Structure formats: structure tokens, C-alpha cells
């Protein structure tokens, strides 16, 4: 339980000159004492100080600004999948899934690049500029003169959003009081917002300004401007959000990153400035931190080397329990990456195959798509409440969300009417986001701060790698059949089992 702002917590005390300091009260998720006692003692003090300051308007701004990153990643993913068929119809390529492969490859590279960079030079630059990169190339994609140009611009946009997603939860967590860590799960609600915006804009543009994709008439700019309007509109929105990140909040480097870098003076300044600005109390002093000595270096001699990356990867496997946790979390991200992409990236085709017939079928298809995306928002909200309940916690919330989704997937294969189609789509959208939202939050909670960006980046990269696999599956199989749905059901079931096997329950524990 977090402390009230006016409470004063004493620093870890020595029982004697040679005695081992008390650096933990058992509330930390992972004990660092056997790895680095100085870091453990200092992390305890910093967690205490953050709890003492409590939740402020700065955290509220971070919730919205970091949430934009979730929404943008979701929005760009759906822009690509929504518009792909229309771009192919206008500019027929030799390989129709090239853009999907390039998109996921760029997301993968972005996650690895920005994730590792965040552990080496800090979170600040990726936080401020990743959205801007996404916005510029999303707008440019709308003006693409051919398929290779469109695929390239979409991929460059994905490079920015891929790194942005890694940093959103990392930055938010490293400022959060321990009793508010459940907000990490709620943050994923912005993913549904991004989906919804993409779906609503697509409903307005794609249904009215798209040519038939069956080749019955030639597709030109005159009858196929919908996908261009889609990228212009959504790209402009992302640009506005990227500017808001710089103007609305003056972002400072996170105190836990600074601590792991051995920059104790900057840790104190950051926390004291936060406390003073919001009329809170922070009794942590530089002397208290430095009394515990220097932390072990978490860097190689040359930061611009593969050895530096190896240091951060090894830091995720430093104990047997942490190694098991990291491995299971990464495997879960890979499984959901394939299952999520198979279902959502190709959902328009599946919806079209099960949609209504007649003059209004196109409009109904896009209407259903928008409604289904809207239903992604309640999932993280439900998960946020469940993960804080003692009877559920993080692990059981993930397991329940995954198993329920598996059941709905199997039921979805039997739909016969448009109403059944919409109902099952909405139910799946809610339940899968209960699982996904909790996994997002859990991942950063169980990763140590010094290596959190790298670990989270690799997790997301594995997710994107499986997205590339889904694109290959879509290239050589029919995604309008029920086969991908059965595969998705099996993958979600496996995800539910893995969640139950996670060695850590993060509810009620402080991240380190």
C-alpha cells in the first residue's frame, strides 16, 4: 500500500558499521539484493519517494499523452489493413502482401531500436519524436504514386510507432506510485480508441470513395480516393498529437532510468521538482542515496556496441526465476502476435465474407467494423478492475481473458447471420483486450528498470515477427475461411495457460 503524501519514511538503516542494510520491506516485485545491494537500497528509496509524492496532474497528463501512443500504433496498423485492398486494386503489385510484411518488419525494427536505445541514452527522445516520425510518413503515404511508394511510407511510419509503443508503458510506470500501477492496464484502452478512430474514418471514406476490387471497373484517383483521404486525415491527427506531446508537458527523464545510470543528483532534482510543483512532500536527499555507494555498471565499456545490447539482454536472465519469467512473457507476446494479427488484420475480408448481401452490404461491413473496434475500449477498463482484485490479480485476469476469447473464437465459426457476426465480433473485441491490456502492463512490471526498454522492445518485436508470419499465411491461404479463426482460438488458449504459469504476481508489488 502506498504512503500518504505527508508521511515520512526513513531510509534503509544500518544496524552496525559492517551490518547489511535493510533495503526492502518485501513490497518489491523482484529482490535485487543478491544482484546489486546498492541498487536495491536506492530503488527502495526512490519507490518510497514516488509513493510519498503520490498521483499528480503530471501523471494525468502522462496517462493521456502516453495513451496517444497506444492509439497511434493501433490506428496505423488498421490504416494499413483497411486500405491495402484498395491500393492493390489501383496499383496491382506482383506480391499483394508486400506492404504487410514491410509494415511488420518496420514495427519489429522500431521496437528493437527504440527499446534498446531507451536503455542506453534514455526514454526522453523516443517519447518526444516517435509520434512525429509516424505522422509525417503517414501523411506522405496518402500521396503515394504507386504501390512500392505507399508500402515504403507505411513502413517508415510504422518504424516510429513501433518504438513509441515500447516507451509508453515504460515511461508511465517509472513515474507511477505503486498503488496506481493498475493504470497501466487501463492505459491500453487507448488502443481501442485508435481502432475506433480508424474504423469510423474508414466508414466515412472507404464506403463512399472506393472502387470495386473485383476488377469490374478500372481503379483510378477519380473513383478510389478513399484510402488517400484516410491517410491524410489520420496522419494529420497523429501530427497534432505529436505536437501536443511537446507542448502540453515538459517531459523529464524518468527517475528510475537516472538511478540505474548512477546519476543520483538528477534523480533527486527530478523528484524534488515534481514534489514542489504539485505541493507534495519529498524527503529523499542526495546523502541518503549516496550513503549506499555506487551501483554496479549496467553498461559495457563502449555503449555504441553489440556488447552494450548483450549487457541488457543478460540482465533479463540474471536469476533463474527472472529468466523463466522473461521467457514465458516473450513467448506469450509471440503467440498473441500471430493470433491477433490473423484475426484483426484480415477481419475486413472475413466480415465481408459473412456480411449482408445487397446494395447496402459495403456500408454495413464498414459499420460493423467500426462498432467492433469501439468494443475494444471496455476490455482494458474491465481488466483494470479485475487485476486489482485479490481473487484475480494480473495472472488470473490474463488467463480468464484468453480462455473466454478462445471460446468466442470457436463460437464465431458457426455464425450464420449478420447480427450473429456482429455480436461475436464485439464479444471477441472485449475479451481479447482484457488479455492484451493486462499483458502490456504485466510485461513492464516484471522487467527490471535498467533493462526494461530492451526487454519490452524484444517482446513487442516478437509480436511483430509473428505479425509477419500472419502476412505470409494470408498470402498463400484464404483468410475468408474459418481456418484462421480456429488457429486464433488455439493460440489464445495457449496464452491463457502460459499466464497461469508466470512465476510472478505483480498485484500489490512495486516495480524495480
pLDDT for position 37: 78
Q: In this predicted structure, what is the pLDDT of residue 342?
A: 77
CATH architecture of 57-248+313-501: Up-down Bundle (1.20)
Instruction: Give the pLDDT confidence score for residue 366 in this predicted structure.
Output: 74
Query: Cα–Cα distance between 218 and 29 in angstroms, integer?
Result: 60
Report which of 449, 461, 214, 175 is spatially closest to residue 329, judged by C-alpha positions: 461
What is the rounded distance in angstroms from the CA atom of residue 172 to the CA atom of residue 478? 40
pLDDT of residue 346: 60
Of 150, 152, 158, 155, which is closest to residue 91 (Cα–Cα)? 150
| Predicted local confidence at residue 299, as pLDDT | 55
Residues of the chain scoring pLDDT < 70: 1-36, 297-306, 344-362, 474-481
pLDDT at 481: 67
Q: What is the dihedral of CA 465, 468, 474, 479, to 10 degrees?
A: 50
227 by Cβ neighbours in 10 Å (0-12 / 13-18 / 19+) ranks as buried
Which residue ranges make up each domain of the chain?
Answer: 37-54+253-295, 57-248+313-501
Per-residue pLDDT, 304: 56
Q: What is the distance between the terminal CA atoms of the chain, rounded to a whole angstrom?
A: 16
Determine the pLDDT at residue 301. 53
At 510 the pLDDT is 79
Give the single-character DSSP code of 13. -
Amino acid at each position: 500500500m502506498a504512503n500518504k503524501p505527508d508521511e515520512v519514511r526513513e531510509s534503509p538503516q544500518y544496524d552496525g558499521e559492517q551490518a547489511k542494510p535493510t533495503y526492502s520491506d518485501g513490497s518489491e516485485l523482484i529482490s535485487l539484493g543478491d544482484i546489486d545491494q546498492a541498487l536495491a537500497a536506492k530503488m527502495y528509496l526512490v519507490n518510497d519517494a514516488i509513493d510519498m509524492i503520490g498521483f499528480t496532474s503530471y501523471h494525468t497528463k502522462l496517462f493521456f499523452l502516453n495513451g496517444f501512443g497506444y492509439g497511434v500504433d493501433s490506428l496505423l496498423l488498421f490504416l494499413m489493413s483497411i486500405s491495402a485492398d484498395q491500393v492493390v486494386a489501383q496499383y496491382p503489385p506482383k506480391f499483394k502482401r508486400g506492404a504487410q510484411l514491410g509494415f511488420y518488419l518496420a514495427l519489429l525494427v522500431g521496437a528493437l531500436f527504440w527499446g534498446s536505445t531507451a536503455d542506453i541514452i534514455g526514454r526522453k527522445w523516443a517519447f518526444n519524436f516517435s509520434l512525429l516520425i509516424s505522422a509525417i510518413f503517414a501523411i506522405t503515404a496518402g500521396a503515394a504514386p504507386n504501390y512500392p511508394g505507399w508500402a515504403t511510407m507505411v513502413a517508415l511510419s510504422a518504424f516510429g510507432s513501433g518504438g513509441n509503443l515500447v516507451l509508453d508503458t515504460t515511461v508511465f510506470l517509472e513515474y507511477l506510485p505503486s498503488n496506481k500501477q493498475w493504470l497501466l492496464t487501463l492505459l491500453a484502452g487507448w488502443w481501442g480508441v485508435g481502432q475506433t478512430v480508424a474504423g469510423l474514418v474508414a466508414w466515412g471514406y472507404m464506403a463512399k470513395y472506393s472502387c470495386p476490387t473485383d476488377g469490374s471497373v478500372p481503379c483510378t484517383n477519380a473513383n478510389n480516393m478513399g484510402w488517400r483521404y484516410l491517410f491524410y486525415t489520420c496522419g494529420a491527427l497523429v501530427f497534432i498529437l505529436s505536437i501536443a506531446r511537446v507542448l502540453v508537458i515538459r517531459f523529464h527523464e524518468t527517475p528510475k532510468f537516472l538511478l540505474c545510470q548512477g546519476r543520483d543528483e538528477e534523480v533527486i532534482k527530478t523528484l524534488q521538482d515534481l514534489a514542489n510543483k504539485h505541493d507534495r512532500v519529498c524527503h529523499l536527499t542526495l546523502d541518503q542515496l549516496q550513503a549506499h555507494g555506487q551501483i554496479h555498471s549496467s553498461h559495457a565499456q563502449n555503449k555504441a556496441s553489440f556488447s552494450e545490447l548483450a549487457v541488457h539482454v543478460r540482465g533479463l536472465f540474471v536469476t533463474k526465476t527472472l529468466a523463466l519469467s522473461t521467457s514465458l512473457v516473450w513467448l506469450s507476446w509471440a503467440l498473441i502476435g500471430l493470433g491477433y494479427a490473423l484475426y484483426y488484420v484480415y477481419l475486413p475480408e472475413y466480415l465481408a465474407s459473412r456480411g449482408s448481401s445487397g446494395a447496402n452490404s459495403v456500408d454495413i461491413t464498414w459499420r460493423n467494423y467500426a462498432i467492433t473496434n469501439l468494443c475494444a475500449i471496455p476490455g482494458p477498463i474491465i481488466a483494470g478492475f479485475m487485476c486489482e482484485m485479490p481473487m484475480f490479480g494480473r495472472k488470473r485476469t490474463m488467463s480468464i481473458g484468453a480462455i473466454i476469447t478462445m471460446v468466442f473464437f470457436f463460437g464465431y465459426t458457426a455464425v450464420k447471420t449478420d447480427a450473429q457476426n456482429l455480436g461475436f465480433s464485439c464479444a471477441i473485441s472485449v475479451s481479447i483486450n482484457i488479455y492484451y491490456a493486462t499483458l502490456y502492463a504485466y510485461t513492464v512490471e516484471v522487467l527490471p528498470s535498467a533493462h526494461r526498454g530492451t526487454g519490452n522492445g524484444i517482446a513487442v518485436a516478437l509480436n511483430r515477427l509473428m505479425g509477419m508470419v500472419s502476412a505470409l499465411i494470408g498470402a498463400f491461404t484464404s483468410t475468408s475461411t474459418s481456418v484462421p479463426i480456429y488457429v486464433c482460438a488455439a493460440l489464445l488458449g495457449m496464452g491463457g495457460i502460459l499466464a497461469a504459469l508466470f512465476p510472478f504476481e505483480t498485484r500489490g508489488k512495486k516495480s524495480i
